[in-house]
Amino acid sequence: MRLEQLLSTRGLVQQTPNAYEIRDRARLVSPQPIKLFYGETYDEKGDTIDSIKYYLFVAELADALREEGFKVDPVILVADIAACRNVTIELHNRYMVLGNDRVRFVEQVNEVYGTDLRVVRMSEYIDSSWFVQKREEIMQICEADSILMECIEKTVPESKVDIERKNGFLYSFDEIATIIDLDVKVGPPREDLYDTIARLIAEKIVTNGIRSLFLTPTFPLGMNWAYFFANEGIEEHGITAYKAGSKQLHRHRVIIGRSNPDYIKQLITDSFISIDSSLPNPVLDVGIISEMARKRLEHDPSPIILADDFYSGKITPDELKDTVGENVEKYVLLKF
C-alpha cells in the first residue's frame, strides 16, 4: 500500500503527519533508518485484536517506506516494567511472565503476517547507564521549568498524582525518555500529552521532535446506543487498546486465543452501529483490522476501503456485521 493511501485510510487513522513530513524525516536521518515505534503495556486478561491493529499498521508503514527506498526500524515495545508498576509487589513476577507472553504474541504476529517487527522489552534497557543518564537530563530540564512540570502532572490520573509526586513521576519520565529520540510514534490519541512534552523538551535540547500518528480509538463490542450515550468519555477516548480488561469490559473484546468465534459473532450482532461516521463503530473497527490481516496474508497491496463502502451506503449495517463476523474468524482468530 502506498504511503498516502495508508495515511488516509478512513476509520483507521485519526491524526497523522502528512506523507511529505514522514519522507522528510526519513531523508533527514538517512543513512540511519527512520525509527517507527508503538509501545504498550498489558494485563492478565489476554492479547487483544486491538493490539494487532497497531502491529499491522506499523508494519504497513514500514513497508510503504521501504518501497520508496528508505531504511526503516519498526519497533514494538512491550513495557513490562511499566506494567509492573501498576500492580502490587506480590504480582510483580506474575506480570513479568505476562510480559514474556506478550512478547511471544508479537512474535507470533510476525510469523503469521510477515510483519518483520523488532520487539523490545522495557526491562532490557531501563537500568542501562545510557538510559538512566538520558532520563536524568530530562528530569533536570523539566524540574527547572514549572510549565513542563505542570504538563508532567497532567500525564497522571488525578487520583494518583500525590503518589507519583512522591515517586518523582518516574513512570512519566521513563515514558518520555523512551520516546524522545523517535521519529514516528504510533499510538492511541490519549498519548498526546506524552508526545507534546517530548517535543517541548526536544526544542530545548535542539534535536528532532517526534511525529505523532494516532489511530482511531478502541470501543467495546456488544453495546447498545444507550451505553455510549451514558458514557461520553468512552465515546471520545474509547478504552485502552492493549489491555483486554480496560474498564472491566473484557467480555466485550476480541481476545486472541480465548474468544470463541460464535461468541464474537453474537457480540457483533448485538453491537450498536450507525451510518453517522462521527459516532463509535466498533464493528467497523474490527472489520478494518480483519481486512488489514487479510491483505497481509494474501499479499494484497490495495487500499482499505471498508469504511468508505459502509458510509457511502454500498454496504448495509447488517451486511457489515455479517462480513466482519466471518472475516475476523477466518483471518485472525483461526490463525492463532
Closest CA to 249 of 270, 275, 283, 219: 219
List, in order of start, the domains of the chain with CATH numbers: 3-215 (3.40.50.620), 225-335 (no CATH)
Dist CA 123 CA 243 (whole Å): 19
3-class secondary-structure state, position 72: strand
Dist CA 235 CA 189 (whole Å): 13
Residue whose C-alpha cell is 508532567: 152
pTM across the whole model: 0.95
Interstrand relation of 211-215 and 255-256 (parallel, antiparallel or unpaired)? unpaired
Amino acid identity of 241?
A
Dist CA 21 CA 217 (whole Å): 23
Dist CA 265 CA 212 (whole Å): 34
Amino acid identity of 76?
I
Say if CB 36 and CB 74 are below 8 A apart.
Answer: yes
Vertex 174, ends 168 and 177: CA angle to 5°? 120
**Quick one: how far is CA 178 from the chain centroid?**
15
Cell of 124: 532490557
Say if CB 195 and CB 188 are below 8 A apart.
Answer: no
Low-confidence stretches of the chain (pLDDT < 50) are none
Kindly tell me the sign of the dihedral angle through the C-alpha atoms of 90, 85, 190, 259: negative
pLDDT given for residue 236 in this prediction:
79
130-166 pLDDT tens trace: 999 999 999 999 999 999 999 999 988 787 888 888 8
Cell of 334: 483461526
Dist CA 91 CA 93 (whole Å): 6
Half-sphere exposure of residue 272: CA atoms within 13 angstroms, side-chain side: 14
Quote the strand ranges of 221-322, DSSP E. 255-256
Dist CA 162 CA 27 (whole Å): 43
Q: Percent of the chain having pLDDT more than 70?
A: 100
